[in-house]
Amino acid sequence: MVNHGPSKGCSTCRKRRVKCDEDRPSCRECLRLRRVCGGYEPEKKTRRIRFMDRGTGARLLSSTSRPRSPRMLTTPEWTRQAVIPATITPSDESFAVCFFLTSIAGLGRGFHSTQGFLEPLFPVVAKEHPDSVLSTVLTAVSTKLWSLLKNPTNSYRTPHPPFTRALSRLQAALNDPLERSRDSTVLGSILMHFYESLAARSTHQHTMRVHQDGARALLDHGTGSVPDSDCRAYLRSYLRHCDVSTYMEVQPDDTSDLDVWFDAGWDDSLRANPNAVLDLIGLSIADLQKRLSTFMCGLAKNNLDGLALATWWQDALSVDTQLLDWVQLVPASWQPCTKLEEDTFAYFGFCDIYPTVQIATIWNVWRVCRLMVLRMELYLLAKVPPEALQQTISIATKEYSFPDPNRGRELVDSICRSVPFYLGNRQNHGGLYDLTDPAIRIPNYYDQDLDEAPD
């Protein structure tokens, strides 16, 4: 009888004494049961195929020749190796990069709709050498996301050797005057920020801005000496989008990080897609908040400037009008479809369905913008003396008196109706194999032309 030696299955399946399919880096049996896959023994520990003698002498010999060290019995090597990630082979890297470019970077995105950095990634990386800084960073990001999809029990805290290599390669590129002037190096720095942003969000921490600020410094350093390409202009608009998005999320009183964009204005080389227009409106909202903080300081000192307050109120109305006009820029295919859902995951029995997740997010950013303007108006109503406020409003406009609080409820309801579109009936983080799980339901409808030009 041929004996193939000890089982080559993962440590978890061996401990449970069940058959393991030996899939790498985590077996499907563990993924199916949502267990932590303990990994596999190193190849050097795997014995060669041998013939086993079923005789008594052979059994006695094998039983007496095995080491019985208490250390080996209590701390086997596979337990010590379980925390070390499986080795990523070149074929795994290639598959992960292809999956990232096709299913993450390219799906649901277009230059005329979204405003990220992933849109120019494919054409730029196609011209890069496999050892370039952009290719190295792309490999690090792709393999990490792929490992998280294949094994949901992994986390960003798990050591990831490709990320270390990407950091070293990026540092080498920054020390080379020729490399640091290339568009691909700027894109590589932004992609590194994307990786760290995902890691921070997964651990509920604030995202470090080191690589984002570094990318901006590279763009500023090249101004005047490096020809301004379409890619650089697009990346510059993406960095503006990042700063505005951070402001929307954190809403700090200090808006000095946005000062550089207040002076920059609109870049005529870029198409005015709906997302870019929202960024500019977001800058106006930040300016309103900065001026409102100044008013509150004056109010505390009994030194309220009525004319400046009236101007602020008029500007707030103007920003809200811009947000209402923004809807006219949106293609007809972007409009959400409200669907009646009988499942418990729906919001009061309803769910809004969008063509893509990206478009749903853009709509929610628009709603948050309107909520921020409404909140500032209501805050002003609560803090300013009634007689001064009524005079201010009458100066600012003859047709508008007080904001309607029901407007906020409608906007919040719209955001809540989009949550089932993002999550479906899932209640925890999923993996790649959840795509074939018939129990998971995610509302959707037919695809539409995402870049349809508005009438």
315-332 pLDDT per residue, tens: 998 999 999 999 998 888
Burial environment of residue 167 by CB neighbours within 10 A (0 to 12, 13 to 18, 19 or more) = middle
At a CB cut-off of 8 Å and minimum separation 6, what does 73 contact? none
The reported pLDDT for the residue numbered 416 is 95
- Per-residue confidence (pLDDT) for residue 239, from 0 to 100: 85
The two three-digit tokens of residue 171, written as one number: 């540092």
236 and 305 inside one domain: no
Per-residue tokens: 405: 């609080």
Residue 90 parent element (H or E): helix 90-99
pLDDT at residue number 89 = 57
pLDDT at 111 (0 to 100):
60
The total domain count for the chain is 3
DSSP-assigned letter for residue 87: P
Which of 211, 446, 224 has its CA nearest to residue 337? 446
Rounded-to-integer distance, Cα 384 and Cα 390, Å? 10
Angle (CA) 120-449-433 rounded to 5° is: 75
71 & 193 share domain: no
d(CA 208, CA 213): 9
Q: Are residues 104 and 233 in the same domain?
A: yes
The runs of H, that is alpha helices, within 301-356 are: 306-326
Of 238, 271, 304, the last residue of a domain is: 271
Query: Is residue 300 domain-shared with residue 233, that is, in the same domain?
Result: no
H or E, element range at 368:
helix 357-383
At 191 the pLDDT is: 92
Do 114 and 252 belong together in one domain? yes
User: For 341, which DSSP code?
Assistant: -
Nearest 10 degrees: Cα torsion 302, 304, 306, 307: 150
Q: Do 75 and 128 fall within a single domain?
A: no
Expressed as residue numbers, the domain containing 316 is 276-455
- For residue 347, the 8-state DSSP code is B
| Same domain as 288, residue 221 | no
pLDDT number for residue 398: 57
In this structure, the answer to whether residues 389 and 408 fall within a common structural domain is: yes
**Chain Cα centroid distance, residue 190:** 12
Other C-beta atoms within 10 Å of 71: how many? 8
Do residues 281 and 165 both lie within one domain? no
- Residue 163 CA to its chain's centroid (Å): 17
Low pLDDT (below 50) residues in the chain = 1-3, 43-87, 447-455
Q: What pLDDT shows up at residue 263?
A: 62
Using CA atoms, how far apart are residues 58 and 226, in angstroms rounded to an integer? 76
Shared domain for 401 and 293, answered yes or no, is yes
Strand 2-3 vs strand 50-51: parallel, antiparallel, or unpaired? antiparallel
Residue whose structure tokens are 């049961």: 33
State whether 30 and 111 are in the same domain: no
pLDDT of amino acid 292: 86
Question: Both 95 and 73 in a single domain?
Answer: no
Can you tell me the distance from the alpha carbon of 410 to that of 238, in angstroms, rounded to the nearest whole number?
Answer: 30
